[in-house]
Amino acid sequence: MYTDRIKNIGQYKLNASAGAPDFRDWQYQPALIKLKSSVSKPRGLKILDQKDEGACTGFALAAVINVLRKRSDRPNQVSPRMLYEMAKRHDEWRGFKYEGSSCRGAIKGWYNMGVCTDDIWPYETGKPKSLTVDAAKDARNNTLGAYYRLGTRLSCGAKRSWRDLLFCRYS
C-alpha cells in the first residue's frame, strides 16, 4: 500500500484506504468516448482544509458536492463535518471513536443521511458534536440518488467518472 511508504505530506496524514468489495455495489461502466486531454478547474472552487484531523473523506466529498451545488445555483457550502461523522457510522470499522474513514463510508453516509449545510453544522477541529434534528432535517435537502463503485483500473475508470461528473446536474 502506498501509505506504508509515506505517512505524511507536511502536516497532512496519508491514511486513506480502499473500500471493501460489496456484491450489492453497482459497478461504474464509462461510456466509450474520447476524453479531453485536459479539463479546466471549476470556477469559484473553494479549497477546504481539514487541518490536522483525519477527516479527508468528509472534506473530499464536500468539495465535490459544493462544485455540483454551485453549478445548480445553490450557494451554501455543505458540512464536511457531517459527511465525516456519518462516514464513520457507515464505514466498515466498528464504532466511531477513531480518526479517519473510507470514501465508501462517506458516500454511504451521504446516501443514507444526506448532508446539511456548513452553517448548520460547521467544522471545528477536534469538536465533532452530534447530529441534531435541525441538521437531519436540512440534510434531507441534499441527498444522493445512486452511486457506483469504480473498478481497480483507476487510470481508465476514474478519468471517465470525472468526465461524467463534470456534465451532470445536481438537483
pLDDT tens for 72-84 read 888 889 999 999 9
**CB-based contact 48:80 (threshold 8 Å):** yes
- Per-residue confidence (pLDDT) for residue 151, from 0 to 100: 61
Q: Cα–chain-centroid distance for residue 41?
A: 18
CATH class held by domain 44-166: alpha beta
Please report, for residues 63, 84, 137, the alpha-carbon distance to residue 50 in angstroms, rounded to integers and kept in the order given. 12, 10, 25
Rounded percentage of the chain residues whose pLDDT exceeds 90: 19
Q: Average pLDDT for residues 159-170, to the nearest whole number? A: 53
C-alpha cell at position 139: 440534510
Looking at the predicted structure, is the pLDDT value of residue 70 above 50?
yes
Largest separation between any pair of C-alpha atoms in the chain: 46
d(CA 166, CA 161): 9
Ramachandran angles phi, psi of 112, nearest 5°: -80, -30
- Our measurement of the distance from residue 46's CA atom to the centroid of its chain's CA atoms, rounded to an integer in Å, reads 15
Q: How far apart are CA 37 and CA 69, in angstroms?
A: 25
- The overall average pLDDT reported for the chain is 76
